[in-house]
Structure 1
């Protein structure tokens, strides 16, 4: 079997992590100071996290479960299960989200705007999920080359945005003043501090996804050397593009301009503001929409396959029902891929045909799953601390001194706690004022953890 190249894996990571909505949302929340916050987040969280994953990946080069394997190495199978169950809960809702973005981008391709009904969104979203399932079942190996090409296209359209932003700024037509003062993180009072803490907490979410590379480590030649190289190339590129992306977007529109744009339309709207500044025609928007349709379709396949491998490929017997962990003659987790797709289809049906109550129920469940996203990173950091304490040797040493490695792991652990607390809790309000939000986020996390324990109990009992 032909092996993945370093650039191919780097493109997989870029597609899995980099998201234009993260740029738009952070910009409209705190303005250009989001650039400094993203820079800090990249330096103290994302880069160290990628170094940790690179070291784990080089150490466990023959394992295919990625983040599950890395957590299991340091903390054992029971904690690894809690982490990977939380990972599944957080990401299973991401699949229908990706699928239903594709109809919006296609609408921009054919009509130049988001002229798509709920029914059309559901129909095309279902088609996208089924297509992703077919690719995951039959053509994953051949898909790697295509995903690399789309990764380069993703870099290309992002680079266009950055270069155009620099041009607009240098020609004196920036919509937002960019000075040293605008970069400053101003903490005037308790509400502004709460906003900064909340934004920084959500910035950590923006850097999630690099662990997708873990399920491809066994497909690399010389993984001890090439896996760290790929993940470091990708992490540096993503960090730079996020930081410069805030500056570029600020030249095309103000934070108030983008506050009027929905999350789904944020990607194309950024390029619409850019086209208006530069006098580009509708052809440009259609071109960008085509690229983002391809990017999202590729991301849907990559996330679906990576989620199944991470969650179901290496867990011990009796962790999940046996049919979910069964592989076919080609090593494909057929049943788990179908199961994930069915769940995503049910979510789309619920929001489309369930009326207002169905949509509200799905939104509530989605919000309840939010905090589950942080749990795997928390346990990954803790696993790395144990890994360095026991002085395991990896062919790639991110931090050769065990004490420094344990310190870095501790910093990541603290940052995960910060994200877990301040992404759902506002320090400027009393507990009574935000009780509903607290119950939704943290109560939802507790509920999903209990469900995971129950599933494992009955799966083990039946085994």
Structure 2
């Protein structure tokens, strides 16, 4: 009876799949790279995503009695300071990511209802975003067993629509119904290894990150020792195949010129519209509306997970006194209701800033967003190092895929090198685009100095809390 209330294998797979996979990631990188996105996804999946997911699965199985996710995994081998650095960077990056994403949901709803984007007024988008923050926060407070059902439904629908897109795109070319819209040659498929490509490739690495989000729910998983590692690996395979084959299918349906004209925001809708039209379904408007509806459900589920999971990772397993007790308080099911509503208040402030109209304040929050953008890379670098140290000390997890030390060193080394490459490569484009070295100083300080500054700020907050907490205890 108890197991029925817990998260099963396929719910776990969807809980990992939904926040990680996005069809828009396929079209976004197809716009940026064209056919070169196909081998790029293959390289990223084999050299980075798969080994990183294996490391996550092993570390999670070794810490299955804890719910701190990446904090617990890093702490188990590198100690609390590195665990804090990795998790704080993860939390801060996701916080500023969230303040940008809520305006996307009304646009998705508009595509679902009207087959086009009618929400073009920025002020209206801000007001709708504020409402959505409160509503989704409330859903998150209901607990993982509730919102995992949304992930389960959204994930399966997304997987189904992605498979349908891929099948019809490829079959259309094979039977000669619709010739490939893209000409594949060595020149178009082989990436141009320039500054622009390396910058895009770095963000490609981060597009596959997300296998860690389910780690904070491991205590809610049915038979975690077997189910969690298996779920992570299955989700990883689904995501990798969807990105690689999906990129090929997108190139079959739309040429690089069409994708570039559609732009980053609308390319995902346009390719569905073209595919439906190619198969004789009128203008393709209905197909786009169905896709947009499913995309809306999936995105809502993904955003709820991104609201809840980083909070658990940051606050659930830190030593007592690191943060105020009010923030770290959690329900019996592990849900951190107070932290969720505090985060909601912060997000409301961040989202509402444009309405104030004070340019100085708005510029300040834009600066904070720029400073935090590369913070998301740091947790994966630290996590790769934590796994390497964990295994080199002779530790073994209940679930173990990398058997020999040499394989562990090679896999960890590649993940670490690519992670460091992603950190420096993601900001490389800003440096190259600068006309002079003096002009390049500002983006360099923002991109690379920002994460360091935010980590220092995090340690300052914990030191202040540690200094205040004993005084409060004595008063009581």
Range class of TM-score, shorter chain:
over 0.9
What residue in structure 2 maps to residue 161 of structure 1?
Answer: 165
Aligned equivalent of 1:128, options 127, 132, 135: 132
Q: In the TM superposition, what is the alpha-carbon distance from 1:176 to its structure 2 partner?
A: 1.1
RMSD, aligned CA: 2.0
CA contact (8 A) 1:50 1:235 kept: yes
Question: Residues 313, 413 of structure 1: CA spacing in aligned structure 2 closer, same or farther, 3 A cutoff?
Answer: same
- Structure 2 residue 186 is the aligned partner of structure 1 residue 183: no
Q: Tell me the TM-score normalized by structure 1.
A: 0.93
Question: Residues 330, 385 of structure 1: CA spacing in aligned structure 2 closer, same or farther, 3 A cutoff?
Answer: closer
What residue in structure 1 maps to residue 234 of structure 2?
Answer: 233
- Structure 2 residue 300 is the aligned partner of structure 1 residue 291: no
Question: Residues 168, 91 of structure 1: CA spacing in aligned structure 2 closer, same or farther, 3 A cutoff?
Answer: same
Alignment of 1:73-112 (within 5 A): 73-112=76-115
Aligned equivalent of 1:451, options 452, 457, 466: 457
- Structure 2 residue 122 is the aligned partner of structure 1 residue 118: yes
Alignment of 1:260-275 (within 5 A): 260-275=261-276
Q: What per-residue deviation string (whole Å, max 9, x for no partner) do you get for residues 226-261 of structure 1?
A: 111111111011011111121111122222322334
Report the number of matched residues.
458
What residue in structure 2 maps to residue 70 of structure 1?
Answer: 73
Consecutive unaligned residues in structure 2, runs of 5 or more: 470-476
Return the alpha-carbon distance in structure 2 between the equivalents of residues 30 and 101 of structure 1: 23
Q: In the TM superposition, what is the alpha-carbon distance from 1:273 to its structure 2 partner?
A: 3.4
Q: In the TM superposition, what is the alpha-carbon distance from 1:16 to its structure 2 partner?
A: 1.0
- Structure 2 residue 470 is the aligned partner of structure 1 residue 441: no
CA contact (8 A) 1:54 1:398 kept: no
Q: What per-residue deviation string (whole Å, max 9, x for no partner) do you get for residues 364-392 of structure 1?
A: 32222111001100110110111011111
SS in 2 for 1:369: helix
What residue in structure 2 maps to residue 250 of structure 1?
Answer: 251
Aligned equivalent of 1:401, options 395, 401, 404: 404
Return the alpha-carbon distance in structure 1 between the equivalents of residues 333 and 410 of structure 2: 42
What residue in structure 2 maps to residue 313 of structure 1?
Answer: 316
What residue in structure 2 maps to residue 341 of structure 1?
Answer: 344
Consecutive unaligned residues in structure 1, runs of 5 or more: 188-192
Q: In the TM superposition, what is the alpha-carbon distance from 1:296 to its structure 2 partner?
A: 0.9
Q: Tell me the TM-score normalized by structure 2.
A: 0.91
Question: Residues 28, 434 of structure 1: CA spacing in aligned structure 2 closer, same or farther, 3 A cutoff?
Answer: farther
Return the alpha-carbon distance in structure 2 between the equivalents of residues 110 and 28 of structure 1: 26
CA contact (8 A) 1:388 1:406 kept: no
Q: In the TM superposition, what is the alpha-carbon distance from 1:393 to its structure 2 partner?
A: 1.8
CA contact (8 A) 1:391 1:402 kept: no
Q: In the TM superposition, what is the alpha-carbon distance from 1:15 to its structure 2 partner?
A: 0.5
What residue in structure 2 maps to residue 7 of structure 1?
Answer: 10
Q: In the TM superposition, what is the alpha-carbon distance from 1:356 to its structure 2 partner?
A: 5.9
Question: Residues 340, 51 of structure 1: CA spacing in aligned structure 2 closer, same or farther, 3 A cutoff?
Answer: same
Q: In the TM superposition, what is the alpha-carbon distance from 1:37 to its structure 2 partner?
A: 0.9
Question: Residues 355, 176 of structure 1: CA spacing in aligned structure 2 closer, same or farther, 3 A cutoff?
Answer: farther
Q: What per-residue deviation string (whole Å, max 9, x for no partner) do you get for residues 64-86 of structure 1?
A: 01111101111101110111110
Aligned equivalent of 1:381, options 381, 384, 391: 384
Alignment of 1:346-365 (within 5 A): 346-354=349-357, 359-365=362-368
CA contact (8 A) 1:153 1:291 kept: yes
CA contact (8 A) 1:352 1:359 kept: no
What residue in structure 1 maps to residue 39 of structure 2?
Answer: 36
What residue in structure 2 maps to residue 190 of structure 1?
Answer: none
Q: In the TM superposition, what is the alpha-carbon distance from 1:357 to its structure 2 partner?
A: 5.6
What residue in structure 2 maps to residue 150 of structure 1?
Answer: 154
Query: Which deviates more from structure 2 when the two are superposed, residues 257-266 or residues 90-99?
Result: 257-266
CA contact (8 A) 2:372 2:454 kept: yes
Question: Residues 428, 150 of structure 1: CA spacing in aligned structure 2 closer, same or farther, 3 A cutoff?
Answer: closer
- Structure 2 residue 177 is the aligned partner of structure 1 residue 174: no
What residue in structure 1 maps to residue 473 of structure 2?
Answer: none
Q: In the TM superposition, what is the alpha-carbon distance from 1:431 to its structure 2 partner?
A: 4.2
CA contact (8 A) 1:98 1:296 kept: no
SS in 2 for 1:327: coil
